[in-house]
Amino acid sequence: MAVLQMQRISICALKENRKQILELLQQEGVVELDMDMEEDEVFRKSDTISSRGIFEKNAATLDHALEILQTYVPEKKGMLSSLEGKTPVDYDSYSNIVEKQEAVMAQAHRLTSLAKEIAENKANILKRQNQIEALEPWKNLDVPMNFAGTKKATAFVGTISSVMTQEQIHEGIVQADPKLDAFDVNVISEDKDQTYVCILCGVKDAPALEEALRGIGFARPAQTGGMIPRERQERLEQKIAVLEQKNEELEKEIAGYENTREDLRLASDYYRTRASKYEVLGKLLQSKKTFVLNGYVPTRAAAGLEKKLNENFTLSVEISEVPEEDEAPILLQNNTFSASFEGVAASFGLPGKGEIDPTTIMSFFYFFFFGLMLSDAAYGLIVTVACFIVLKKFPNMELGMKKSIRMFMYCGISTLFWGIMFGGYFGDIVNVVTRLYFGNEVTVPALWFVPLNDPMKLLIWSMGFGLIHLFVGLGMKGYMLIRDKKYLDFFCDVVLWFVFLIGLLMLLIPSSLFASIAQMTIVFPPFLNLLAKVFAIGGAVGICLMSGRDNKNWGLRIALGAYDLYNTTGWLSDVLSYSRLLALGLATGVIASVVNQMGSMIGQGVIGTILFIIIFIFGHTLNLAINLLGAYVHTNRLQFVEFFGKFYEGGGHEFTPFTTNTKYVNIKEEIKL
């Protein structure tokens, strides 16, 4: 249970070594660099944007090449592939890629140009297909589109902008110019708004006919050509076939690059890492011969790093405590069990300045409450086994994901435990099956009691657990105050509240109100009753007097104290909030029973059994999913609102070390600090 101690590190070294030093730091991945330093006359920052740009562009090209590969030769991926994480790669094959980088880049460029060529060919194919389509209406024309006629005859090939039959065209022409009679109208085809025609006439009639045709909306086609349409279509089709053939070859060539995928990934990560190195390089303060850099390093890694730096370079490393006014980055350190719950605490906020890491304490309550809310042995077993399999199957999973899944695995164990305590196995599946198929109902007895039969009992217990949770929270606050040597605050804000609340509790327990809820009467000996009164009144008076102690004005001070006393209602609502432990636990059990009941209603027979199984699988999957979500959300809420509300604010920032910036592979193990 700890926030890892940080130290400040300052390195001053020769400029000629700067790249190697940064590489070492990057490889070690234990330093968070603090780059907000001002330039002055001696120390200046150098401009590395252009070289950084080249690396970023290379990385982008490689990513693009990988996308191309993925399009043409898709890699087979399972449903859970997102859990796989980065492939681990040893440092040798990574340095190998450095030597091969030009060849790999050439491959990437080739892939990009191949893809570009394919795209161009596809565009050409599309263009030709459009041309073929445009020629479709002219298919029956057996002269070229630009056919003007012979020596003696003139031809008009074109469209008329309305649908007309041969006779109508004939009539139209004669109406426009009654003198015309020697001409021949051929309708080639028609569609819904045009008629495609070829009209022949003697050379001398041509001007008059053209005039007449214009009157009925004749126009020459936009697309002409010296070929007979049908032949031209065939020619286009051949061209398309050639292009398609070519594309197939290109795709084959792309497929041939399938094995380079690993190299492309490595190289992409290599450039990305270099780009991030240059980014840091651009922020370094450099003089003519030297440079300086500052940062944070976890104390336990500091000595090793210092030694490594001194062994390899001529430089000065200074490691010092983090100054008071600085806010060190936060890295949590917990045992395997508690570390699984770090994600929950981090999603609320990492410990702020001077706060302790709440993860350890929280993890036990989280484990406890989660199981209590889900409380079904079979569900717990399913969750545990499923998480265990996933963890075994994907060892390279991203660390955060791994922790979450491990957390659910532990929560599954807790669910199993509570399920056995409350006798829930898929709700009441044992009862239903034995009743339906064997005639006599068998009940698996609950180790403790069945909540549905005695909800008041579980309600009292839930609130009791809640009270312990809240008291521990208040205790944590006390611990922090003592650690900071604020004894007066500890007494006024923690001890007095404890006294007051315990006094109230002791007054409540023997009362008739409690007896009616808990259905049992507890009688305290008289001295305890007296003690309760002393505690409650003493606590209340103490809080009233001391809460507003920062104020000199006594009237105001007491008024503030009285207002603070009003927080008792806050405690009441906090405790009531734990009734969700009961409500959600009941919900799981009751819905499971509904599913079983529905399944069993159909009857025994073969069909009945099959339907029962279908309803069982579907219903319980749904119930498990919904209640898993509910338990997760509400356990979080109990931690965040009720528990953290007592002592924890968060607001620290995460330790983000300068390290190899990769997307596909993991060059070394996750940092072990």
Binding site for another protein (CB under 8 A): 344, 346-348, 452, 455-456, 459, 576-577, 579-580, 582-584, 586-587, 590-591, 593-594, 597, 626, 629-630, 633-634, 636-637, 640-641
- Shortest distance, position 459 Cβ to another protein, whole Å: 7
End-to-end CA distance of the chain: 15
- Shortest distance, position 579 Cβ to another protein, whole Å: 5
CA gap 425, 215 in Å, rounded: 89
Q: Give the residue with the Cβ less far from another protein, 276 or 577.
A: 577
The tokens describing 203, both together, are: 């050379």
Q: Give the residue with the Cβ less far from another protein, 547 or 635.
A: 635
Residue 296 · residue 655 · CB < 8 Å: yes
- Shortest distance, position 643 Cβ to another protein, whole Å: 13
- Shortest distance, position 455 Cβ to another protein, whole Å: 6
Q: Give the residue with the Cβ less far from another protein, 361 or 587.
A: 587
Q: Give the residue with the Cβ less far from another protein, 322 or 586.
A: 586
CA gap 447, 421 in Å, rounded: 4
Q: Give the residue with the Cβ less far from another protein, 141 or 344.
A: 344
Residue 9 · residue 299 · CB < 8 Å: no
Q: Give the residue with the Cβ less far from another protein, 419 or 542.
A: 419
CA gap 181, 208 in Å, rounded: 11
The tokens describing 280, both together, are: 């840091």
Q: Give the residue with the Cβ less far from another protein, 161 or 604.
A: 604
CA distance to 371, 580, 620, 634, per residue, from 583 (Å): 13, 5, 18, 11
CA distance to 120, 540, 564, 613, per residue, from 567 (Å): 73, 11, 5, 52
Q: Give the residue with the Cβ less far from another protein, 32 or 493.
A: 32
CA distance to 63, 257, 258, per residue, from 261 (Å): 10, 7, 6
Q: Give the residue with the Cβ less far from another protein, 508 or 517.
A: 517
- Shortest distance, position 77 Cβ to another protein, whole Å: 15
Work out the angle at residue 608's Cα, subtended by the Cα atoms of residues 602 and 612, and round it to the nearest 5 degrees: 85
- Shortest distance, position 582 Cβ to another protein, whole Å: 7
- Shortest distance, position 244 Cβ to another protein, whole Å: 32
CA-wise closest residue to 44 among 289, 302, 237: 289
DSSP, collapsed to helix, strand or coil, labels residue 326 as coil
Work out the angle at residue 277's Cα, subtended by the Cα atoms of residues 272 and 282, and round it to the nearest 5 degrees: 125
Q: Give the residue with the Cβ less far from another protein, 385 or 594.
A: 594
- Shortest distance, position 86 Cβ to another protein, whole Å: 17
Show the 3-state SS of 278-315: HHHHHHCEECCCEEEEEEEEEHHHHHHHHHHHHHHCCE
- Shortest distance, position 571 Cβ to another protein, whole Å: 15
Residue 666 · residue 88 · CB < 8 Å: yes
- Shortest distance, position 60 Cβ to another protein, whole Å: 19
Q: Which amino acid is at 69?
A: L
Q: Give the residue with the Cβ less far from another protein, 228 or 602.
A: 602
CA-wise closest residue to 93 among 300, 262, 311, 308: 262
- Bridge partners of 293, per DSSP, are 11
Residue 225 · residue 144 · CB < 8 Å: yes
**Residue 15, number of CB atoms within 10 A of its CB:** 14
CA distance to 54, 125, 607, per residue, from 113 (Å): 19, 18, 60
- Shortest distance, position 453 Cβ to another protein, whole Å: 9
- Shortest distance, position 307 Cβ to another protein, whole Å: 36
- Find tokens 């399999």 and name the residue: 389
The tokens describing 390, both together, are: 């996933």
Q: Give the residue with the Cβ less far from another protein, 294 or 636.
A: 636
